[in-house]
Amino acid sequence: MKPYTSLKSILAEFFPLHRTLASDDQDKTLEIVGSYMPDTSNYTIENYKPLDPAWTWKVPERYVVHEAYLEILGGERVVDFKDNPLHIVSYSPPVDKVLAFEELQPHLYFNEKRPHAVPWMFKYYDRDWGFCMSKNAFDKLPRDGKFHAVIKSEFVTDPMRGFKLATAVIHPQGGPTPEAGEMIVQAHTCHPMQANDDGAGVVSTIELARRLAENPLPPGSMGVRFWFGPETIGTIVYLSHNENLIPSLRGGIFMEMTGNRNKIAWHHSRQRDHLLDRIAKYVVKNVQHEERSFADYPPNDERVMNGPGVNVPTISINRWPYDEYHTTDDNLDIIHDEMLSDAAAVAERVVRIFASNYVPKRTFRGPVFLSGNGLWVDWQENFALNRAIEKIMMRFEGEHSVFDIADQVGLDYWMVREYVEKFRAKGFVIPLPIPSEAQAA
């Protein structure tokens, strides 16, 4: 596990790379991410065979660009892929044509609102070629000129150079507890030359993993699985090839666009009022934030994780919107370390509560003899907990989680959990896992 001076410094390492669905630079990005993940996380880069079925999709081919440029015939080169990978539409097929302006124009893309910036465009599945440029550069193109458009690209189906993503797992103190299941935290790595979308989410997620490794969750907690890979199709490929994992997943968080100066936005799960939603609401109550509906803009991999046939309750944490989105202005200048760290801290608080939570089920009858079992709380030391003891014990029927109990009696989760753990140590309650809502088929 490499040390780092700042989260932004990690992002700077992979920011300029041509990160697309499957590419050599995507591989490099996953290797960089892995170098900063905790040594104990068993970080693994997985390889999937191109064109294999992935539910109703197919595993994408590797995209290799050897050369790509647009030049005025007999004149200057207008755009060049080697200067910036955003200059071509991602997954453009090969082209080598001389075109009049009218023929070329449908293949040119720019951003009206940010005329100085180059937009990011992709046509992963349409397979139509194109170039991206600033509106200012577009306006200078001679309307009566001829243009030479060249894209030397190929789609590689070699299984050894397949579609890659990475996973890691941080276990609680004492090792894994299979019956407790896992949480999953995701961030995507596939947007070339985009810092906030989603390089920021990637490094916030690295920070979260390191915090959980340095200060592990209590014994018996869920494991926390980390996932890095291409947006949407990456999650589809991963789940379709690991269906046996789905029932063990209790909840998820998608992290993206965490580095700009906007307030935190969190998106509900598809269930809307799941335990995970209530915990997120509890965590952000003292943080400036915005609450949004499931898969509200910008929708992301929660649509897969919490979608049909999977249904793992998943929330999203981001700082969208921001004006620089999907342009060359989404660069390191808009990234701020405190924003990256603060987003990781919010996610950490959600994870620590959700993953350590359980349902206490009583083994006793009648009111417990508190003082005789070391369970009495002196009202002079903790008046609020003293007043809540009876209410807490009445909720040990295997119907309420520790978080639900804390919420219902109006006390801090960790205070209530520490107290319930004393009943557990005495054998007066047994812990039942948070039930899975994931669909097995």
- Give the mean pLDDT of the chain: 97
Q: Are residues 22 and 83 in the same domain?
A: no
Q: Are residues 130 and 227 in the same domain?
A: no
Establish if 438 belongs to a structural domain.
Answer: no
Q: Are residues 368 and 411 in the same domain?
A: yes
Q: What percentage of the chain reaches a pLDDT higher than 90?
A: 98
Establish if 427 belongs to a structural domain.
Answer: yes
Mean pLDDT for the stretch of residues 415-434 = 98
Establish if 2 belongs to a structural domain.
Answer: no
pLDDT in tens, 272-296: 999 999 999 999 999 999 999 999 9
**In this predicted structure, what is the pLDDT of residue 439?**
87
Instruction: Among 156, 189, 215, give the residue marking a domain's end.
Output: 156
Element (H, E) at 85: none
pLDDT in tens, 118-175: 999 999 999 899 999 999 999 999 999 999 999 999 999 999 999 999 999 999 999 9
Asked if 122 and 21 touch (Cβ cutoff 8 Å), the reply is no
Q: Are residues 307 and 405 in the same domain?
A: no
Instruction: Among 300, 333, 356, give the residue marking a domain's end.
Output: 356
pTM: 0.97
Burial class (CB in 10 A: 0-12, 13-18, 19+), 230: buried
Quick one: which of 191, 159, 162, 165 has its CA closest to 62? Answer: 162
Establish if 441 belongs to a structural domain.
Answer: no
Q: Are residues 285 and 321 in the same domain?
A: yes
Establish if 417 belongs to a structural domain.
Answer: yes
Q: Are residues 90 and 127 in the same domain?
A: yes
**Which CATH number do you get for residue 296?**
3.40.630.10
Those residues with Cβ within 8 angstroms of residue 348's Cβ, 6 or more apart along the chain or in another chain: 208, 211, 212
Quick one: which of 312, 254, 318, 251 has its CA closest to 284? Answer: 318
Q: Are residues 228 and 317 in the same domain?
A: yes
Those residues with Cβ within 8 angstroms of residue 311's Cβ, 6 or more apart along the chain or in another chain: 270, 437, 438, 439
Domain that holds residue 105: 64-156
Give the pLDDT band of residue 441 (cuts 50, 70, 90).
low
Quick one: which of 258, 189, 194 has its CA closest to 228? Answer: 189
Instruction: Among 156, 184, 217, give the residue marking a domain's end.
Output: 156
Burial class (CB in 10 A: 0-12, 13-18, 19+), 31: middle
**In this predicted structure, what is the pLDDT of residue 123?**
94
**Which CATH number do you get for residue 116?**
3.50.30.90
pLDDT at 314 over 90: yes
* Token pair for 347: 């996610």
**In this predicted structure, what is the pLDDT of residue 200?**
98
Establish if 389 belongs to a structural domain.
Answer: yes
Asked if 60 and 161 touch (Cβ cutoff 8 Å), the reply is no
pLDDT at 312 over 80: yes
**In this predicted structure, what is the pLDDT of residue 436?**
95
Q: Are residues 73 and 218 in the same domain?
A: no
Q: How far apart are CA 185 and CA 182, in angstroms?
A: 10
Asked if 156 and 20 touch (Cβ cutoff 8 Å), the reply is no
Mean pLDDT for the stretch of residues 309-323 = 98
Q: Are residues 411 and 315 in the same domain?
A: no
**In this predicted structure, what is the pLDDT of residue 407?**
98
**In this predicted structure, what is the pLDDT of residue 440?**
72
Establish if 21 belongs to a structural domain.
Answer: yes
**In this predicted structure, what is the pLDDT of residue 75?**
87
Q: Are residues 129 and 200 in the same domain?
A: no
- ∠ CA 143-144-150, nearest 5°, is 80
**In this predicted structure, what is the pLDDT of residue 24?**
98
Establish if 251 belongs to a structural domain.
Answer: yes
* N- to C-terminal Cα separation, the chain: 38
Q: Are residues 199 and 252 in the same domain?
A: yes
Q: Are residues 242 and 277 in the same domain?
A: yes
pLDDT at 209 over 90: yes
Q: What is the count of structural domains for the chain?
A: 3
